[in-house]
Structure 1
């Protein structure tokens, strides 16, 4: 794999929890990159028990302006798994929305750098938590060039599903105009509700790649820290079982695009 970007619409939280669960459960080396312009939350939540200096996306963006990404990247990471060093890493996000404007001009080089990480030694996949698409400065270069773009939707009520309709339409347009088509776009559904998977797929005109249970205890630990994860929780089991589908989807899309692959059009 390479870059898996995750976003949500207004009223449908769960992107950070889903991205973190994937980073903790999947088998390949992974970097969870907090790319939400509204700010990251892993350091203040899941890793809040640790004393971590101010590192992460903002210093990395500054390094991009100096063309020093390769030299700076490793120093901006935090290890999520002390028992298996170097396997599951996180690139902390910004802690102030004002910083989003500073990062915006660097999304192009950051995206190019992330896309090369799978070919490094050791190689890494990047799970990019891009938050809710309600900010004025989404990381468009990252979204349109991701190998897989997942729209995370809570399936509990119409209130959480309806805003995703407009978001799905917008993402399709952006991928069609600036990327390599909407084929990289799919859904992740969280929880149950009055609408089934097929109903939601039809309403949003997108396939659901996988579904996750509404495992609130595990979600609280991933969101706020302070608890212990054993790998047997329903949410972590469901995320782990989704990994083959994610890998197969990316492999099929790459095979399809290989004869006509291009860099796409720049999206300011």
Structure 2
């Protein structure tokens, strides 16, 4: 499935929670990469900071800039969320603002590397938590390289305006960089307006809606025992099917002969 990128609209909650829930429930090997320039939260939150030394994308970026050893160093920077299976791995995000300066020039390098993980032995999909776009240096190359891009937003009116601005920004960037159509979808979190209303308002299909489940969200944010039968985890598990279907359909479309290409439209 290659790269699945999640990005939040300004003020919308839930992108990291949704990404982590998917990582813990999906049925293929997956790496969750925290690529939010504002910093990662899973290490200090869900994992309680319990690691034997610094690890994550910041350390990886410093090593890559110094030694150019991304391929060799990558696997040593991951955290096994379901040890010792190495089926659900985490690349923690930056924990020091200074690290962000090292990561920013490497977004394209990381995008290219993540795409190749699908071809490895064993193969891994990569769920990328891109955070919010309203930062100094958004990880645009990761969004452009993704097979599926999910804009995570609440279904309440105050958040829909920000979601519209985020969708517009992504559509403009994709058009400018000739990103093939069909990767962009909405992922709703919590209660609010119906999927049809939100889709019509934002001009984009809704792929799924994750339920309001504060108990599970608290565990995913601050640590504890994750219960697979909880509503949020069941919904995250179910999300894998439409995401994979969308990816397969898009790949089939991109494999058409060039004479059958359609005009760009996100």
Q: TM-score range by the shorter chain?
A: over 0.9
Once residues 31 and 246 of structure 1 are traced to their aligned partners in structure 2, the CA distance between those partners, rounded to angstroms, is 16
> Structure 1 unaligned runs (5+)?
262-268
Once residues 197 and 27 of structure 1 are traced to their aligned partners in structure 2, the CA distance between those partners, rounded to angstroms, is 26
Once residues 141 and 100 of structure 1 are traced to their aligned partners in structure 2, the CA distance between those partners, rounded to angstroms, is 16
TM-fit CA distance, 1:67: 2.5
- Aligned equivalent of 1:266: none
Once residues 111 and 53 of structure 2 are traced to their aligned partners in structure 1, the CA distance between those partners, rounded to angstroms, is 24
Once residues 13 and 209 of structure 1 are traced to their aligned partners in structure 2, the CA distance between those partners, rounded to angstroms, is 17
Runs of 4+ in structure 1 over 4 Å off: none
Report Cα offsets for 1:87-125 as digits up to 9, x if no partner. 100000001234222211111111100000011111100
TM-fit CA distance, 1:64: 3.0
| Counterpart among 187, 205, 208 of residue 207 in structure 1 | 205
Q: Partner of 1:50: helix, strand, or coil?
A: coil
Once residues 189 and 130 of structure 1 are traced to their aligned partners in structure 2, the CA distance between those partners, rounded to angstroms, is 16
- Aligned equivalent of 2:247: 250
Report Cα offsets for 1:5-55 as digits up to 9, x if no partner. 000111101000000000000000000000000000011000006234111
1:201/1:93 CA distance change after superposition, 3 Å? same
- Aligned Cα RMSD in Å? 1.4
TM-fit CA distance, 1:179: 4.1
- Aligned equivalent of 2:263: none
- Aligned equivalent of 2:131: 131
Q: How does 1:92-131 map to 2 (within 5 A)?
A: 92-131=92-131
Task: Normalising by structure 1, report the TM-score.
Answer: 0.92
Report Cα offsets for 1:182-228 as digits up to 9, x if no partner. 421101001111x2111111111110111110111000100111x21
Say how many residue pairs are matched: 257
Once residues 240 and 177 of structure 1 are traced to their aligned partners in structure 2, the CA distance between those partners, rounded to angstroms, is 34
Once residues 97 and 157 of structure 2 are traced to their aligned partners in structure 1, the CA distance between those partners, rounded to angstroms, is 29
- Aligned equivalent of 2:152: 152
Q: Partner of 1:129: helix, strand, or coil?
A: strand
- Aligned equivalent of 2:56: 56
Task: Normalising by structure 2, report the TM-score.
Answer: 0.93
Once residues 99 and 201 of structure 1 are traced to their aligned partners in structure 2, the CA distance between those partners, rounded to angstroms, is 37
- Aligned equivalent of 1:180: 179
Once residues 188 and 138 of structure 1 are traced to their aligned partners in structure 2, the CA distance between those partners, rounded to angstroms, is 19
Q: Partner of 1:191: helix, strand, or coil?
A: strand
Once residues 142 and 50 of structure 1 are traced to their aligned partners in structure 2, the CA distance between those partners, rounded to angstroms, is 28
Contact residue 30 and residue 89 of structure 1 kept, 8 A: yes
1:204/1:52 CA distance change after superposition, 3 Å? farther
